[in-house]
Amino acid sequence: MFGNGERSVPPSQFALRVAIIGGGALVIFSIIFFRLWYLQVLSGDRYLAEAKNNQVREITVQAPRGEIVDRDGKVLVDNRTALALQVRTTELPRGNKVLAEELRKLGGVAGMTPQHIRSQVRKQTKESPASPVTLQRDVPYDLVYYLRENQEDFPGVSVDRVYVRQYPQGTLGAHLFGYVREVNADQLEEPQYESLVPGDQVGQAGVEYTYDSLLRGINGATRVQVDATGRPTGGRLSLQDPRAGNNLRMTIDSGLQAAGEAAIAQFGLPGAFVAMDVDDGEILAMGSNPTFDPSVFAKPVIPQSVADSIFDGTDGTEAPIFDRAIQGGYPTGSTFKLITTTAALQSGLITPDHVVNDTGSVTYGGVEFKNAGDAVNGSIDLRQALQVSSDVYFYTLGADMDTDDNPEGGALQDWARQLGLGGYTGIDLPSEGEGLLPTPGWRNQLYADNLTDRPWSVGDNVNLAVGQGDLQASPLQLAVAYATIANGGGVVRPHVGMRVEDPDGRVIQEVDPAPRRQVDIDPETRDAILDGLHAAAQEPGGTSYQVFGGFPVDIAGKTGTAERGETVEDQSWYAAMAPYPDPDVVVVATIERGGFGADAAAPAVQQILSNYFDVKAEKIEQVSEAGGIYE
């Protein structure tokens, strides 16, 4: 039957083999079964308890943010440590009854209602979903000790040391510093925040934003063994120390900053000021009124009423958070005449000796343009026109520089652009306004789009020549223009950062931006402008002689009174360069609804310059007694 020579296995032997294999498998299965039964049934509770007691938690150790100091090292923004009562929502009990009982007990020892705790959890997880919920800050030590001794009754609750931004100088420089909050979802999509996770804190405005990557430290982490309630069961497993952020030294002089803020705040009106080095663009002081308290943003939750008071306004420009120094866009009034003068002289339209017969008014396109106060100045040259601020003189220059064949405008617009108007200054602060320099092309396009009732006309250039009409400029832009004339043609890039230092004080980065460009300013042009503005400030008949006539330091300054519509009071401006004839500082101030330039802005600039030059009251009195009008 088996022709190939193979032999079949007898049935009895095959059955025996199957029985042996089956028996062995049964024994092995029985051993495994009883072992699992032993582990799961007899020893399950013990091993479960051991597993729960061997959980590892990684606790983030917050890194302190770098300090912000003024040019002399005086602390403007730093940190303080605080004991914060916090709840980690992911570690709270899941059962409603158990959670309610824990919140009741927590409220009892912390002095708050369970409803308040739930309210804070809702608010803070909505605003900062990844961060622990902070119920109290600066908690007393007896509460700390109690919670630690009874940690098993309060899973998910802890008292941690946190770093909180503090402002030793109060509201001083609030717009410059900005504030810090949790990184948001949109920011996490940006390359500069790719290494961060929800819950990390970043700068959201001011230098806190611009220099965030340098100020922000690197968090550390501690790994500890905990039980199911979160209570440590052993020693620390590992520790990665946090690395503190770098410090930022600003160009700001805190004393001058305080003087400037006080000078514009005294009128109780919106306003702004800038004090800047004319040669390198260092901002010595800069502020906006009204201001806000930056410490508000150091709190875990900002009450809605407080947020509304800081951020809200009829159109956003009335809000305290709005920085008028760099975001404000205004007509500048007669302070613009420095730019008109430069354009007329540099284009060859006139010489400093050019004379105009100022009869009090001129007419263009059927519209009469008058001097302020209906003044009649007679025959005057350029220096005299600057001294008395003759509108008629500059109306004629604006008309002569008008052009219909260039949508970008003529010499007036060209020089305004070269001096920094109608564009960003490049300051190292976010949210700078670009402003608006009106041109024929701009207005004609509005007319073509039915957004205005008329195209460009010579009257637009006439208005622009005296800083009126559609012009929108910020105090900082005007300061850059004046600095360019003062230094002989360098269009500086203003900056508030001076250098970055590590926590040990070693310099790791200098902030020294090169000028944006160099423009060709004839020395004769510069001298004529400075002479005229010096006469305007300190010679009888000058528009600000009543303020600076006896000032102990020679200055060159220009008033500006800008019309803001029939129902709004005029805006007050003043721009000064000092000391004359070789200025090293420019100061610009504006007060909304402040009236004439000499009534509000000029006295504000005087106070700032008095601080800058350390003008003492005794010296002022001596000048006044000697026959000056300064008082």
pLDDT tens, 204-224?
999 999 999 999 988 887 776
* Boundary residue ending a domain (195, 224, 249): 249
* Boundary residue ending a domain (222, 249, 276): 249
| Residue 47 forms part of a structural domain | no
436 and 361, same structural domain?
A: yes
Measured over the CA atoms of residue 228, residue 233, residue 238 and residue 242, the dihedral's sign is positive
| Residue 40 forms part of a structural domain | no
The one-letter amino acid at 68: I
Task: Give pTM, 2 decimals.
Answer: 0.84
What range does the domain containing 204 cover?
56-249
232 and 272, same structural domain?
A: no
Angstrom CA distances, 280 to 313, 607, 612, stand at: 35, 23, 17
What pLDDT, on a 0 to 100 scale, did the predictor assign at position 626?
40
Confidence of residue 517 (pLDDT cuts 50, 70, 90): very high
Indicate the DSSP class of residue 498. Answer: E
400 and 501, same structural domain?
A: yes
pLDDT tens, 457-473?
999 999 999 999 999 99
Confidence of residue 564 (pLDDT cuts 50, 70, 90): confident
Task: State the CATH number of the domain containing residue 375.
Answer: 3.40.710.10
229 and 259, same structural domain?
A: no
272 and 132, same structural domain?
A: no
The one-letter amino acid at 355: V
343 and 268, same structural domain?
A: yes
Inform me whether the pLDDT recorded for 313 exceeds 80: no
504 and 424, same structural domain?
A: yes
| CB contact at 8 A, 631 and 551 | no
pLDDT tens, 92-134?
887 888 888 888 989 888 888 989 888 888 877 776 666 678 8
| CB contact at 8 A, 137 and 82 | yes
263 and 190, same structural domain?
A: no
What pLDDT, on a 0 to 100 scale, did the predictor assign at position 547?
97
89 and 186, same structural domain?
A: yes
453 and 330, same structural domain?
A: yes
| Residue 284 forms part of a structural domain | yes
Question: Rounded distance, CA 493 to CA 423, Å?
Answer: 12
Residue of higher predicted confidence among 46 and 182 = 182
359 and 238, same structural domain?
A: no
| Residue 12 forms part of a structural domain | no
| CB contact at 8 A, 86 and 62 | no
What pLDDT, on a 0 to 100 scale, did the predictor assign at position 425?
98
Q: Looking only at Cα atoms, what is the longest distance across the chain?
A: 146
222 and 273, same structural domain?
A: no
Indicate the DSSP class of residue 104. Answer: H
Q: What are the DSSP calls for 537-556, one per residue?
A: HHSTT-TTHHHHTT-SS--E
Question: Rounded distance, CA 561 to CA 570, Å?
Answer: 6
| Residue 417 forms part of a structural domain | yes
| CB contact at 8 A, 177 and 207 | yes
* Boundary residue ending a domain (220, 249, 278): 249
Inform me whether the pLDDT recorded for 625 exceeds 50: no
Indicate the DSSP class of residue 96. Answer: H
Task: State the CATH number of the domain containing residue 94.
Answer: 3.90.1310.10
| Residue 318 forms part of a structural domain | no
| Residue 366 forms part of a structural domain | yes
Inform me whether the pLDDT recorded for 345 exceeds 70: yes
| Residue 46 forms part of a structural domain | no
Inform me whether the pLDDT recorded for 624 exceeds 50: no
Inform me whether the pLDDT recorded for 314 exceeds 60: no
What pLDDT, on a 0 to 100 scale, did the predictor assign at position 232?
57
Angstrom CA distances, 90 to 94, 125, 157, 350, 617, stand at: 9, 11, 11, 76, 63
Number of domains in the chain: 2
Looking from the CA of 534 toward its CB, the CA atoms found within 13 Å total: 16
Confidence of residue 631 (pLDDT cuts 50, 70, 90): very low
Question: Rounded distance, CA 202 to CA 326, Å?
Answer: 22
| Burial group, residue 222, by CB count within 10 angstroms (0-12, 13-18, 19+) | middle
